Structure 1
Amino acid sequence: MMPTKIIEPCEGAYQYPLLIKSLLLSGQRYAQQREIVHGSRRYSYRELNQRICRLAHVLRAAGVDAGDTVAVMDWDSHRYLEAYFAVPMIGAVLHHVNVRLSPDQVGYTMRHAEDNLVLVHDDFLPLIEALAPTLPSVRGYIQLSDAAKVATCTLAPLGEYEALLAAADSQYDFPDFDENSIATTFYTTGTTGNPKGVCFSHRQLVLHTLNMTTTLAAYEGFALLRSEDVYMPMTPMFHVHAWGVPYAATALGVKQVYPGRYDPDRLVRLFRDEGVTFSHGVPTVLQMILNSEEAAKTDLTGWKLLTGGAAPTQGMVRQMAERGIQFFTGYGLSESCPLLSASFLTPQQHDLPLEQQLPLRTSTGVPVGLVDLHLVDATGQRVPEDGSSMGEIVVRAPWLTQGYYLDAQKGAELWQGGWMHTGDVATITPAGVLQIRDRIKDVIKTGGEWVSSLRLENLISQHTGVAEVAVVGVPDARWGERPLALVVLAADAQLEPGALVQHLQQFVGSGEISKWAVPDEIRIVDEIPKTSVGKVNKKLIREQLQDA
């Protein structure tokens, strides 16, 4: 760091720390009567703040001190939103348990995070009761229930959540402390080894929230979340803080609707009945919404949807546009908190014909404010931003995780050369538009050339008979690797693999792909394997193909 002149604060000047508690100041001022909704429960922002205070008292009475870790095992609910604030605001760490991992992996993450108290929904009692003997750091449990009759629990819980809150004080004086204190942790799964712990500080979460409110609200062509919008997540709240949007929605004071366990028909009913205007989710969840029975009889016009976590296909976006949905793409990863870029459209581009909008809406977009991002080759040298040269995305931003919890080696690999390495291969146009081409591990290397599996998926998805598609590379004695496609047909579609090969030939003829990029084999399947957060699981697909 070069020497600079520093402001010396005068005596008595307050050094304002960037703490999560500050995000609660604005919501109740601007939107006292707007509601938080979950099931039959709905209440105002004023009551939200009171309930957060009540939860803080409950946590302290349970013996939770600053630096302790509180695990949450719940569906998307008002309780989870309250934990987003109360746990870190008393100086503890909120562990977002990925309840969709295998029992062994759930147990590993809870031991590794050294959880001290567990807030557990009735649905996960069998899991936590089986794991309890293997969790030596856990000192107690609080039961979360949506039913009138609370489920029986053998763990002697400290009480049921709502009953405990009802008996607690509605005022709490949350302390100041170091803004670099850990606020949250969760675990991200990789291709090998155990899940890795990702941590974020108060400062990082506040800066990410402020940036997200600007990104989602300030730009006319990207106005996804403004004061009059109604927000409903379709990304699990344990997955990268539901992409950080609940923090932004609370700071803005918008109406928030929490759907509990995801069911496509229920999500559509909530959209219709609660007036939802903005949601986000991975492409597989959004495709389930489109295919649901409730969607078939509901006008979806005006629903603004943001996707990320995997590349959306133009076929799906075309379906959405036909239903009146406004669709956008964001990009980030667990380690980036997650927002890094988004597919901005100007008001003029909104008026373009659909076919001209599709590439814009499915692009990885433009890096958002405060994000410094470029591409590098295998030697670490910068790649030209010419729209065709591919390289790995490396990034710096003030909210990126600084490493993996208790895993210095993996952290050093992540931050090699002082830039966070994303593992994503992309191009950048001269206009600065980022386009993911593939994961480094998913690029198909055939005959010395790179073939983008995402590009092939996008083209195959444009056939009207295709509902889902995944393309992977399989070993080939002559070419090293060759593409293989798995395709799930749309309802009532009758389609042979040869028809899809013929479909791809038109893109060979137009020069969009080379003839050697066309898969040697296309398989029609009933379903495509997914990860715990709904992404296509290409690692498992490759393993299954190898075993077969």
Structure 2
Amino acid sequence: MPVAGHVLRHAAEGPSRVALRGPDGSLTYGELAGRVQGGARQLRGRGELAAIALHDPVELLIAVLAADLAGVTPLVGDPAWSPERWARVAGAAGADLRIDEPLASAPGAPLVPEPRPGDRAWACFTSGSTGRPRAVARTRASWTRSFPHLTELTGIGPADVVLVPGPLVSSLYAFAAVHTLAVGATAVVPGGRPTAASLRAATAIHLVPHRLPEVLEQAPRLRTAVVGGALLSGQARDLAGRAGVRVMSYYGATELSFVAFDPDGGGLRAFPEVEIEVRAEPGRALGEVWARSPWLADGYLGGARGPLRRDGGGWMTVGDLAEPYRAGQVLRVRGRGDGAIQTGGATVVPEDVEAVLRNVPGVGDIVVIGSPHPSLGSVVTAVVEGASPPPRALLEAVARSGLDVAQRPRRWYAVPVLPRTGSGKPARGLVADRLAGGDPELRRLV
């Protein structure tokens, strides 16, 4: 069933229940169903791939659901892009329809969903940390049939108020919003930083790890946190436990969807219906994570090139690295292969260094990259986020106690706010570019 079909069913069963709360008010399921039907009638027959560039998250979701009902694939992008960039990236993806104004309600008879499992039901842009957007397409089956698994693992149901505090251009937050509507709960989509009122009302939330500690202090009704996008520290999980909040963290990628999950801090295990292999070259301690599951994406639109690779057996990888793995064991992901730092003959995985240094008091978040060096190739460089970063002496003391010699940063910088991807993860490639370009905001710690 398409997500629009779920919304129509919830509207028939409980039209007065609140479906969406956005920056400018709320819509009940009955009101949402009416807007979706009217928008779908406007879109039907006008194209096959609709590029959606709407600032208001409620209007964006209405357009997505209307496209879904009309048999049009929604392609969600960043409304802040310039018209020129939109034309370039949407054209490269093959979009034949552009939605940059809220949909009007066209009159006519109600449309009836006509879904097929192989339909392309969703597409969004991903750029990882490089800033180069590629459009990833997903079939209906890969997009919606994992909903029951997520529902069971998180316990999110119709009585919940689910806060989605990030941009819907990110697949992490977009999936959260449509899953919420599919189960009949209330999705709160603030379109930016959540208000105090939305935090107080939330019983569940989807977010990236660095946002969890601050949310715990402001959300008294919160009982479930779904955390993705990066490794969750044990310290953050302990904070949530003391606040009575159940945490379900997961590992995946836009191209792979869910790969592994950790419901209790015991480590990542294969998500339901997912097979995992870690393929290492001879003599290498780490290997690439390959997954085979019903949740894998179709691929990139318009023949775009990216990290996604596939073999003849239905397996896919985006190049993430992990320790050796056997089915049923804990998956220990160590980061993206193209981010590894070669320094003096040693290979350093940035995420390993970041995991240790995030525990230093005063570190809001941190990015570790390689900086060019004439004899070592690269040196490990740490960029600390925060208005008042801890002193370098403390950072180095923690590095000495928790990291091997090759892993310890040789250069330290501080920046008030790290650049981030659409999902809220630190944009490693942009940090490296800013450092190489001599950005004055990056202050050397001495």
Tell me which interval the TM-score lies in, with the shorter structure as reference length: 0.7 to 0.9
In the alignment, what sits opposite 1:496? 391
Q: Secondary structure at the match of 2:35?
A: helix
In the alignment, what sits opposite 1:404? 300
Which one of the candidate residues 58, 61, 74 is aligned to 2:42?
58
Q: Tell whether 2:186 aligns with 1:255.
A: yes
Taking the aligned partners of 1:21 and 1:487, their CA distance within structure 2 comes to 43
Deviations along 1:497-535, whole A, 9 cap, x unmatched? Answer: 01211122232xxxxx32332212222332323234432
CA positional deviation for 1:394: 0.6
In the alignment, what sits opposite 2:167? 236
1:339 partner amino acid: F
Q: Is the 8 A contact 1:461 1:467 kept in 2?
A: yes
Q: Is the 8 A contact 2:139 2:298 kept in 1?
A: no
Q: Name structure 1 gaps, 5 residues minimum.
A: 1-17, 121-142, 145-160, 346-356, 384-388, 508-512
Question: Higher Cα Rg: structure 1 or 2?
Answer: 1
2:199 partner amino acid: F
Which one of the candidate residues 35, 40, 58 is aligned to 2:18?
35
Identity %: 22
Deviations along 1:109-158, whole A, 9 cap, x unmatched? Answer: 222234444332xxxxxxxxxxxxxxxxxxxxxx33xxxxxxxxxxxxxx
Mapping 1:6-85, distance limit 5 Å = 19-24=2-7, 26-28=9-11, 31-36=14-19, 37-39=21-23, 41-60=25-44, 64-65=45-46, 67-75=47-55, 77-85=57-65
- After TM superposition, the structure 1 stretch with the greater mean CA deviation from structure 2, 462-471 or 428-437, is 428-437
In the alignment, what sits opposite 1:269? 197
Q: Secondary structure at the match of 2:255?
A: helix
Deviations along 1:262-307, whole A, 9 cap, x unmatched? Answer: 024x1x32121xx2111112235556x55xxxx86x4545352222
Q: Is the 8 A contact 2:360 2:398 kept in 1?
A: yes
Q: Secondary structure at the match of 1:465?
A: coil
In the alignment, what sits opposite 1:415? 310
In the alignment, what sits opposite 1:179? 117
1:335 partner amino acid: E
Q: Is the 8 A contact 1:300 1:325 kept in 2?
A: no
Taking the aligned partners of 1:193 and 1:253, their CA distance within structure 2 comes to 35
Mapping 1:387-402, distance limit 5 Å = 389-402=285-298
Taking the aligned partners of 1:494 and 1:252, their CA distance within structure 2 comes to 42
Aligned length: 435
Deviations along 1:197-248, whole A, 9 cap, x unmatched? Answer: 21122233232xxx23323x324xxx34123221121232222273523332
Q: Secondary structure at the match of 1:406?
A: helix
Q: Tell whether 2:412 aligns with 1:527.
A: no
Q: Is the 8 A contact 1:189 1:195 kept in 2?
A: yes
Q: Tell whether 2:297 aligns with 1:366.
A: no
In the alignment, what sits opposite 1:9? none
TM-score normalised according to structure 2 size: 0.85
Q: Secondary structure at the match of 1:529?
A: coil
Provide the alpha-carbon RMSD of the alignment. Answer: 3.2
In the alignment, what sits opposite 2:262? 343
Taking the aligned partners of 1:313 and 1:425, their CA distance within structure 2 comes to 18
Q: Is the 8 A contact 1:19 1:179 kept in 2?
A: no
Q: Secondary structure at the match of 1:245?
A: helix
Q: Tell whether 2:127 aligns with 1:189.
A: yes
1:27 partner amino acid: H
Q: Tell whether 2:330 aligns with 1:439.
A: no
1:444 partner amino acid: I
In the alignment, what sits opposite 1:151? none
In the alignment, what sits opposite 2:442? none
CA positional deviation for 1:462: 0.9
Q: Name structure 2 gaps, 5 residues minimum.
A: 439-446
Q: Is the 8 A contact 2:68 2:121 kept in 1?
A: yes
Q: Tell whether 2:432 aligns with 1:542.
A: yes
Taking the aligned partners of 2:234 and 2:60, their CA distance within structure 1 comes to 34
In the alignment, what sits opposite 2:152? 218
CA positional deviation for 1:317: 4.5
Taking the aligned partners of 1:193 and 1:471, their CA distance within structure 2 comes to 17
Q: Secondary structure at the match of 1:524?
A: strand
Q: 1:331 to 1:241 in 2, by over 3 A?
A: closer
TM-score normalised according to structure 1 size: 0.71
Which one of the candidate residues 222, 228, 243 is aligned to 1:308?
228
CA positional deviation for 1:488: 2.5
Taking the aligned partners of 1:228 and 1:191, their CA distance within structure 2 comes to 36
